[in-house]
Every structure is written in structure tokens, then in C-alpha cells.
Amino acid sequence: MQKVKYLRTAITSLLYWIILAIRLPFCDVVHVFSASYYSYLLSVAPVILIGKVYGKQVIVNYRSGEAEGHLANWKLTTTPIMRLADAIVVPSDYLVAVFARFGLRARAIFNLVELDRFQFRDRDPLRPVFLCSRLLEPLYNVGNVLRAFYLIQRHYPEAVLTIAADGWMKGELEQLAKDLQLQNVSFIGRVVFEEMPDLYDRHDIYLNASDIDNMPASITESMASGLLVVTTNAGGIPWIVTHDETGLIVECGDYKALASNALRLLDDPTVASRLARNARESARRFTWTEVRGTWLQLYHELMKKTAPRNNVIVSSVK
């Protein structure tokens, strides 16, 4: 059964819906983490509908940077069902504005970063050792990271780039690296979360070329770890990175600017040190200490509307 793709999805979804129907009557608040498109349809919409059938308070914690396309193109299964949720929480004011355009009220609460897990290291001297850990899919445009690295390597032949992710474009991107005759590029595949702090510590500059985004954990974790961030201005990124204060931001699709800003850091260690320290301080905004009060306030608001059973179900959808 596990080898039959659509049969596996159908059976897994059915079992998930049955579990929801059994467990939700005993809970007061249902907190569901949401991606977009089919993930939302199969795993989030049922939570909202079943939760409301039982009269429960439902929080939709929407994480996807593809929200605008999802809301615009899947109107029948998104807006009407999301209106039933008691609260929609998103990681940035960027998505608050996106949801507002579709008549949906959302509130922003940052995603979390565990500062004690990601130890800050001052990059002195700053080395041309680059990292990108975005999925190898079109919206993250890792091809432009490779194109930027080609320009960087013309100035720093010893430069190193690690691509720490998987995705269906891996073969195409490996071929692009060969066509550009890049040296010192490694595709190491997906790295588990527990090993990410060490991976960050081994690199000095984080390159991100995404075209669509929200609040990528890879950027906030890089900020916490002392990596210099050079990124596009996709989606919610300008809400977490301030150009020339906590990182360097370029327009989406401009790999030449991505390269020139990376070179600026390597050529000016004073700027690099300032940005890294500012970024570490800025990352404190994303800690549990900072966001805890907002979450507790939301839960208290919802609990006032129901006779408490002292239970919460958290459904995680990625």
C-alpha cells in the first residue's frame, strides 16, 4: 500500500479525519499548522470543518509564502472555510496584508528561533564560504544562487558553496553548476534540524534567491548564528531583515546584485561585523520570551468563549 502513491494518501487522510472526529469533542481549542494548496485541502480544511461541527475554537497557523496564489486560485476551498476559523495567525505583517486583500483578518506572531541552540560566532576574518539550504524547487530559485556564485568565484576562486537541501530540481541544478564550471560546490542533500547549528557554524555567508517566501527559518537561524545574510526581497523577508542594518536585500531575480552584495561583505569586514551583530540582536524578536505573551493572550481570548475541558489539539501540517 505504501508504494501506491495516491492510495497511500487517501488512506492516510481518511485515518487522520477519523482521529480528528474522535478526539476533537474532548478539546476546547484546536491549533492547526497550515501550508497551502493540497496540504491545506486534505489536512487543514477538515480540521476547521470538524472543529466547528463540534463547536470548538479553531486557530489556523498559516505558514506558506504561497498564500496569495493559494487564496486567489483556490477560492472555493480557502476563503469560505477559513472564515469559519476563530483566529488566523501568520508569521509576518506581509501575510496579514495578503489575507486582508481577500477579506480575511489575520494577526502576526513571529515563528520561533531557539537562540540557545544557535550559538553566535563572530566571522573574523570573514571567509568566502557560502551556504544555501532552500528546497530545490522553482519558487526558491536556487539556480540564481549558483549564478551569483559564478560571479563571486571570479573574484574569489577559492570560494565554497554548500547546497544543503533536496528537491526535484536537484539534477537540473547540478547540471547548471557543471555548465557554469563552478568549483567547490557541494550538493549535500537535506540536513536534519539537529545538525543545522553545526552546519551554520561551518559557513560564513547565507545566500537566498527565493522568488516567493514568507518568514524562512533558515534566514532567522542564520541571523542567530552570525552568518551574514544576503537575500532577495521575496514575500515577508523585508519584515525580518532590514537592508544594511541586519542583512543585505536585493530585488527578486537579480543574481548580479546578490553577487555584488556578497562581495561587498567580503571587501568590507567592518560592514560585515556590524550587520552580523545587529542581526543577532534582531533575532531576539523571534524567541519564545518575546512571542509568548501574544500567544497566551490569543488562547485566553478563545477560552473565554467556551466551557473549558483543559485540552488543546495541535495538528502540524508541513
Residues 57-74 pLDDT 10s = 999 999 999 999 999 999
pLDDT > 70? residue 220: yes
pLDDT > 50? residue 174: yes
Numbered ranges of CATH 3.40.50.2000 in the chain: 129-285
DSSP state string for 228-289: EEEEE--TTGGGT--BTTTBEEE-TT-HHHHHHHHHHHHH-HHHHHHHHHHHHHHGGGGSHH
pLDDT (0 to 100) of residue 7: 81
Q: Residue count of the chain, please give it.
A: 318
Amino acid at 243: H
- For the residues 190-210, what does the mean pLDDT come to? 97
pLDDT > 50? residue 109: yes
- For the residues 143-170, what does the mean pLDDT come to? 98
pLDDT > 80? residue 107: yes
User: Which pLDDT band holds residue 317 (cuts at 50, 70, 90)?
Assistant: very low
CA–CA distance, 187 with 263 (Å, rounded to integer):
22
Are the CB atoms for 205 and 265 separated by under 8 Å? yes
Report pLDDT digits (tens) over 258-290: 999 999 999 999 999 999 999 999 999 999 999
User: Which pLDDT band holds residue 307 (cuts at 50, 70, 90)?
Assistant: low
User: Which pLDDT band holds residue 4 (cuts at 50, 70, 90)?
Assistant: low
Report pLDDT digits (tens) over 116-127: 999 999 999 999
pLDDT > 50? residue 115: yes
Q: Which three cell numbers stand for residue 284?
A: 531576539
pLDDT (0 to 100) of residue 315: 54
CATH code, residues 129-285? 3.40.50.2000
Please list, in sequence order, all residues whose beta carbon lies within 8 angstroms of the beta carbon of residue 192, skipping any fewer than 6 positions away. Answer: none
pLDDT > 80? residue 311: no
Q: What's this model's pTM, rounded to 2 decimal places?
A: 0.88
Numbered ranges of CATH 3.40.1260 in the chain: 19-112+288-315
CA–CA distance, 268 with 104 (Å, rounded to integer):
45
pLDDT (0 to 100) of residue 318: 40
Q: How far is CA 179 from CA 39, 69, 150, 255, 293, in A?
A: 35, 33, 11, 17, 51
| Class of the CATH domain delimited by 19-112+288-315 | alpha beta
Q: Which three cell numbers stand for residue 282?
A: 534582531
pLDDT (0 to 100) of residue 262: 98
* CB count in 10 Å sphere of residue 284: 13
